[in-house]
Chain A
């Protein structure tokens, strides 16, 4: 089956720094979603981005489907950005099932 790899696994930054999180996938996908899980466990959808670039405030995401990767950019980090960021993909033959990466754990220090 498809493999979804996220990097780095852990990231510690000072407040105000910028960061780039990467998601690589091993086969073609129908769609890709980025999620944030806060320290209390709540999962929030950030982007639905099968291809192209989207921006939402300080966050933006780019998916290059032909090269099988997606990037999540966080600018001017705030402590509330801490948590785990997951990438999830729907393989081309999946019947809409999402396959999740293991996540990037981000800690923003004040």
Chain B
């Protein structure tokens, strides 16, 4: 079934640890995005990628890094997790920039 998968579904992480959230899409979309959603708020863009090999910073990039080695995968890394990074993380993709975005199921992350 075509779509976006994210892993893990949820994670409890000690502060200071490194963590990579995985995102894979099989729709051959060029653009991919990482958002965080905090309780009671809309989504905020962390990083994006317009095409394989390129990435860009969103609204809230500090403390996060991404890579886009190929079309399908767009991992998000927290180099040294802090409690303020506790959130639900959504990966999304669109055929091209500025087009309809499709979302993965999310990863719930708790940093203690």
Contact = CB atoms under 8 A, between A and B. Distances in A.
A90 B41 contact: no
Nearest to A42: B105
A31 B45 CA distance: 16
A48 B103 CA distance: 14
B43 A90 contact: no
A34 to B, nearest CB: 11
A86 B41 contact: no
B66 interface: no
A91 B50 CA distance: 17
Interface string B76-112: 0000000000001010100001111111011000000
Contacts, number: 52
A8 to B, nearest CB: 15
Nearest to B90: A43
Contacts of A48: 99-100
Interface string A42-62: 111100100000000000000
A77 interface: no
Contacts of A11: none
A100 B98 contact: no
Question: What's the interface size class on B, roughly?
Answer: 20 to 34
A95 B59 CA distance: 12
Contacts of A99: 59
Contacts of A97: 45, 48, 58-59
B31 interface: yes
Contacts of B50: 96
20 contacts: A4-B42, A30-B98, A33-B101, A35-B103, A42-B103, A42-B105, A43-B106, A86-B42, A86-B43, A88-B42, A96-B48, A97-B59, A98-B33, A98-B101, A99-B59, A100-B42, A100-B43, A100-B44, A102-B42, A103-B42
Interface of A: 4, 30-31, 33, 35, 41-45, 48, 86, 88, 90, 95-103
